């Protein structure tokens, strides 16, 4: 397909992989990012992979005049994939207003500009966090949305409602994609997650420990009601996730959507425990690293994995990559960062 697609947060982790997939499918991409949690050099790396340079606009979605200018400059935008948001669960508990202001103002400004265009097709980056601890597993899209555990999670719930209500009463068409746990890196070794400071998430913590940037991984809790006592998650390769955004967008552009706002789970449908994830990393990398158990981390759900039937049937999409490939690409990315792929500041220990 062709046409212009605006990708907010397009230099971020999932955004950058999605830009590459969009380019592979023939779309012209325009990235809007304020670089608050990403690096401008990612634009060069995307270009190295795809051979096509995405347009880049440094702007904050909270600045509506800047967003309007971008819509005016490019004109005739076929669709928008909206990633740009703050995403650290713990930080959102400490700074709730900052999260509500950034994530909701950004969305509303973006939607206002979209609604002024003749086409308003949006793919939204949502999260399985909306399910909390589901009553039934695997969790389907019909499961109750539970009271959010964090302001971050609440911004995802509220955003889905804003999008759903607005699409119902306007020409907007939207798909919200509820991600499970995105991990891994691009097969080229040129794109991956760039956590700033001490990582919150399991896989960046594992790779940083294995490379020697961290002394030891802490495994949060071994007394959960799971086979080995550690929490279970549905890890999904970031490139599989990126591919799902392209098919979701195509569905909107071709008018194949069955509702004005559709919602799909994006996972593999398989759950792995923290210990299984550690073992998969060790097998994929050949590196054994230090870890120890500690108490539970507040707010963690015990187990969650996706029912992906709806995405498989309606989007014609299925995750392809297994846990070991997720781990081997994450490891390659960590090694490339350590070797200075983004310059030297990313390979200094900051414990």
Q: Among this protein's residues, is 152 annotated catalytic?
A: yes
Binding status of residue 19 toward ligand UFG by CB under 6 A: no
* Listed residue (317, 216, 299) closest to 262, CA to CA: 317
Give the shortest CB-159-to-ligand UFG separation in angstroms. Answer: 13
Residue in 71, 59, 65, 13 with CA at minimum distance from that of residue 194:
13
Under the binding rule (CB under 6 A), the answer on residue 89 touching ligand UFG is: yes
84 binds ligand UFG (CB under 6 A): no
Q: Reduce the DSSP state of residue 238 to 3 states and report it.
A: helix
d(CA 183, CA 273): 14
For position 154 contacting ligand UFG by CB under 6 A, the verdict is: no
Q: Is 274 in the site for ligand UFG (CB under 6 A)?
A: yes
* Alpha-carbon 54 to chain mean position: 19
Q: Which is nearer to ligand UFG, 43 or 244 (CB)?
A: 244
Smallest gap from Cβ 89 to ligand UFG, in A, equals 5
Give the shortest CB-88-to-ligand UFG separation in angstroms. Answer: 8
- Tell me which of 231, 244, 284, 337 binds ligand UFG, using CB under 6 A: 231
- Binder to ligand UFG among 37, 38, 92, 129 (CB under 6 A)? 129
Q: Residues 279 to 318: which contact ligand UFG by CB under 6 A?
A: 297, 300-301
Q: Which of 152, 224, 235, 272 is catalytic?
A: 152
Report the run of H or E that residue 266 belongs to, with start and end: strand 261-266
Phi/psi at 4 (5° precision): -90, 130
- Give the separation between CA 184 and CA 191, rounded to whole angstroms: 10
**Min separation Cβ 204 and ligand UFG, Å:** 8
Please list the residues that pair with 127 across neighbouring strands. Answer: 179
Are 334 and 285 spatial neighbours (Cβ–Cβ below 8 Å)? no
Distance CA(247)–CA(299), nearest Å, equals 33
The binding site for ligand UFG (CB under 6 A) comprises 87, 89, 127-129, 153, 181, 200-202, 205, 217-220, 231, 233, 274, 297, 300-301
Q: Catalytic amino acids?
A: 152
């Amino acid at each position: 397909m062709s046409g212009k697609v605006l990708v907010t947060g397009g230099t971020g982790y999932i955004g950058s992989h999605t830009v590459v997939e969009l380019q592979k499918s023939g779309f012209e991409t325009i990235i809007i990012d304020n670089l608050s949690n990403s690096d401008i050099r990612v634009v060069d790396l995307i270009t190295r992979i795809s051979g096509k340079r995405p347009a880049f606009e440094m702007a904050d979605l909270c600045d509506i005049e800047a967003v309007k200018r971008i819509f005016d400059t490019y004109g005739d935008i076929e669709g928008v994939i909206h990633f740009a948001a703050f995403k650290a669960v713990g930080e959102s508990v400490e700074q709730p207003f900052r999260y509500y202001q950034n994530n909701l103002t950004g969305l509303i400004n973006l939607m206002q500009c979209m609604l002024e265009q003749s086409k308003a097709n949006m793919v939204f980056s949502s999260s399985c966090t909306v399910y909390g601890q589901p009553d039934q597993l695997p969790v389907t899209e019909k499961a109750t949305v539970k009271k959010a555990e964090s302001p971050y999670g609440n911004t995802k719930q509220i955003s889905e409602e804003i999008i759903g209500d607005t699409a119902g009463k306007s020409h907007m068409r939207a798909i919200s994609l509820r991600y499970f746990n995105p991990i891994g890196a691009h097969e080229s070794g040129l794109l991956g997650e760039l956590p700033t400071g001490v990582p919150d998430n399991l896989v960046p913590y594992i790779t940083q420990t294995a490379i020697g940037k961290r002394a030891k991984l802490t495994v949060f809790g071994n007394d959960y009601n799971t086979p080995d006592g550690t929490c279970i998650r549905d890890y999904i390769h970031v490139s599989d996730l990126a591919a799902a955004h392209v098919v979701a967008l195509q569905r909107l552009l071709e008018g194949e959507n069955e509702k004005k706002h559709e919602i799909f789970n994006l996972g593999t449908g398989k759950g792995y425990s923290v210990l299984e994830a550690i073992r998969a990393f060790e097998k994929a990398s050949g590196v054994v690293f230090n870890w120890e158990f500690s108490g539970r981390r507040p707010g963690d759900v015990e187990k969650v994995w996706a029912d992906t039937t709806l995405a498989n049937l309606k989007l014609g999409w299925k995750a392809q990559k297994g846990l070991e490939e997720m781990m081997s690409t994450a490891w390659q990315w960590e090694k490339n960062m350590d070797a200075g792929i983004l310059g030297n500041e990313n390979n200094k220990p900051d414990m």
